[in-house]
Amino acid sequence: MSVWRGSLVGRLRPASVTRWWAVREAILFCLVALLLIAGVVAAAVGAGGWASALWTGAALVGLAWSTVTIAVALLRRRPSVDVIAWLALAGALLVGEPLAGAVIAVMLFTGGVLEARASARARRELGRLAAGAPRIARREGPDGVAEIPVDRVVAGDRLLVGAGELVPVDGRLLGDGVFDESALSGEPLPVERRAGDDIRSGVVNAGPAARMLATETAAASTYAGVVRLVEQAQASSAPFVRLADRFALAFVPLTLLVAGLAWAISGEAVRAVAVLVVATPCPLLLAAPIAIMSGVSRAARYGVILKGGAALERLAAGRVLLFDKTGTLTRGRPVLSAVITGHDLPADEVLRLAAALDQASAHVLAAPIVTAARERGAGLPTATDVRERPGFGIEGTVEGRPVRLGKAAWVVDGAAPEWVRRARRRAALDGSLTVFAAVDGRPAGVLLLTDPLRPDAPRMMRTLRNAGIERTVLITGDRADIAETVGRIAGVDAVYADRDPADKLAIVRAEQAAAPTVMVGDGVNDAPALAAAGVGVALAARGVTAAAEAADVMLTADRVDGLADAILVARRAHRIARRSAALGMALSLAAMIPAAAGLLTPVAGALLQEVIDVAAIGLALTVLLPQHTHTVTMPTADLAVTRQLYAQHTAIRPLVERIRAVADDLSVTGGDLGPVRELVDRLETDLLPHERAEEAQLLPIVARALGGPDPIAALSRTHAEIEHQIRRLRRILPDSAGHAEPEDVIDLRAGLYGLYAIMQLHNAQEEENAFSLMPAASAPT
């Protein structure tokens, strides 16, 4: 009954203090248990005097411990319910019930040991994160590689991370590598990262030595922020836990009143002792904090760090969910969506030359261009004579050819060709960023980059509604047409566009006045809104920003659907905390009646209360058991197949974009069907086998993972439609290689645009309902 230890030790204390008290109480528990058992043995052999002495010794140990806890509580000017334990022990000795006193002493220390072990179990996930903080770094310099403390690393340092070592700070890879990211993302399998990819501190190099460029100091890196959040989580106490403490104290006068009445009416002091034994608020003081802290621990398994029990309770109470757009509902970093070219160079060649030049650039748009070229298998030569002009672009020589990338005014001289005007129009319609490319002094292509919707966002929204979220709101500084599109696809209830940080803050306050809110963001401009919301949630997968520091919850994995898991865990933990406390207190109150009536002896009451304590703690610890969550755990074999098919899915993206490019050219050039024939050939040899493989292998995996009534019907139907449209294109093409009739051109163009639209929708469905089921480090990004 660790409740009787009151505020000496406290609940949910730091791990080092917990271990110290657990050891001391374990020793005292063993001592009183041995005295109790020895007394039973002595009584069994007829040595009643020795038995009484041994039991009295055990009771005196418990009495001394309770006296110390009460004294410490008084010195700290905090009320303590340990007075019930002290009175029960003293009363048992005074009425000549040393056996009852010994049992009470065993109960006293049993509760302490149980709580210490339960808290240690609940903290394991958080402690694992805090213990794994990087401490050293290997910095490359003129004199070779030197080992330095991690806090001496500065942005721009070149670092070497050996096999099995922790990545010391956030940075960018200078070469390919393989990393174990389980500490942050929960992904159990090693993840391959390409040169140019961002890498976070705290992950483990699971391959050969890797070189990286530091982009943050240790204090500003991801893992340092995680450790700070863990420390806050361990130090805080939930409102319900504090309420339980106050509620438990109300039982002290109630217990004394019932005990006094039982004694006064019956004239038997032993009844008062029995009431003191059974009428304890220990289920409130034990079950509530253990359940809440277990919920914090459970959330950490899903890559969600909560700043303690208070954050968990507010997250469980949330009814309105507000999102920033960039980096939360969208990926927050540009992705190459298309390459539009003239007729001098094919799109793949323009991309290869552009990526070769951009390898030397630190511009935010350089990385997605290089990544896209590598994904398409392009070999990137080294550029020479590279010169970067801030505000304009970059130029250099690639394989002897001058290449220039940047703004249109710097790249396109004179009147823009027709294909450039088409590229600009498409970018304006889609809200894309543009990078213009010139090769050999002539405009060669336009690279379009977009910030796509996160594939997991729509499915997460549906899960949140099922979990009890009543209203979803998108708040963004982006223009209205883009925001409305994202909001419609994600499925939010309201959209506020063109809003600055002050506007966001006002909207959050207005929503908070109506119902408890949860605000999700990842940028510096989101920090005020996160702080004003009932609970702020920051996506900190790419570093610990001001948003993460202002938030109450941090998602360490670069997936927004971790929020759905966190809310489900929080609500379950809060529900179990209330149920376990209510059940334990109801049983304790019920036990007071037979104790006051003389139907329970002090010994029987002590044993009954021990059963109640254990039941309350056991129910609280069920928070740690597996539960239904948004995240789907895939078997290893299914995961391997899904990854293989996703690699193919990524590889055919350029072919899908080629469908639109051929349709655009057909509308301009008229009857030249050569590109159409070549495209249809590739669709039949590359795309159709992939779609058939997905039908045969991927869809059964999705059906097993999601369950429910026919979860793959839409995907299977679009597979059939894709094949039908490709066969239709083949039938439209004339048999001869000559020019087509006007009606053939019209039908081909319509068929290509129709197929392109179907493919875009189908790919989005697959990424949302199939590939987003993969763990965080493997899923579409």
Known catalytic residues are: 324
H or E element, residue 357: helix 347-358
Distance CA 426, CA 270 (A): 88
Residue with tokens 């994600």: 490
631 to each of 89, 738, 772, how far by Cα in Å?
50, 54, 9
Please state, as a whole number, how many other Cβ atoms lie within 10 Å of the Cβ of residue 761. 13
Distance CA 479, CA 457 (A): 20
For CA atoms 99, 102, 107, 108, give the dihedral sign.
positive
Amino acid type, 539: L
Please state, as a whole number, how many other Cβ atoms lie within 10 Å of the Cβ of residue 510. 10
H or E element, residue 525: none
Distance CA 212, CA 200 (A): 11
Distance CA 561, CA 464 (A): 9
Residue with tokens 């080992």: 147
HEC readout, 701-721? HHHHHHCCCCCCHHHHHHHHH
CB 606 within 8 A of CB 104: yes
Tokens of 678: 């070549």
User: What own/partner pairs with CB < 8 Å and gap ≥ 24 does 411-419 have?
Assistant: 411/436, 411/437, 411/438, 411/443, 412/436, 412/438, 412/443, 416/443, 417/342, 417/443, 418/668, 419/340, 419/341, 419/342, 419/446
Distance CA 51, CA 59 (A): 12
CB 318 within 8 A of CB 534: yes
Tokens of 318: 């949330």
Q: HSE-up of 563 (CA within 13 Å, CB side)?
A: 35
**Burial status of residue 144 (CB atoms within 10 A of its CB: 0-12, 13-18, 19 or more):** exposed
Nearest-10 Cα torsion for 24, 26, 27, 29 = 120
The phi and psi torsions of 342 (rounded to 5 degrees) equal -80, -145
Amino acid type, 367: A
Per DSSP, the three-state class of 514 is helix
CB 431 within 8 A of CB 463: no
Q: Is beta strand 136-141 parallel, antiparallel or unpaired with respect to 144-149?
A: antiparallel
Rounded to 10 deg, the angle between the 82-94 and 48-75 helix axes is 150
Amino acid type, 382: T
Amino acid type, 458: P
Distance CA 522, CA 554 (A): 10
Please state, as a whole number, how many other Cβ atoms lie within 10 Å of the Cβ of residue 637. 9
Q: Is beta strand 393-398 parallel, antiparallel or unpaired with respect to 384-389?
A: antiparallel
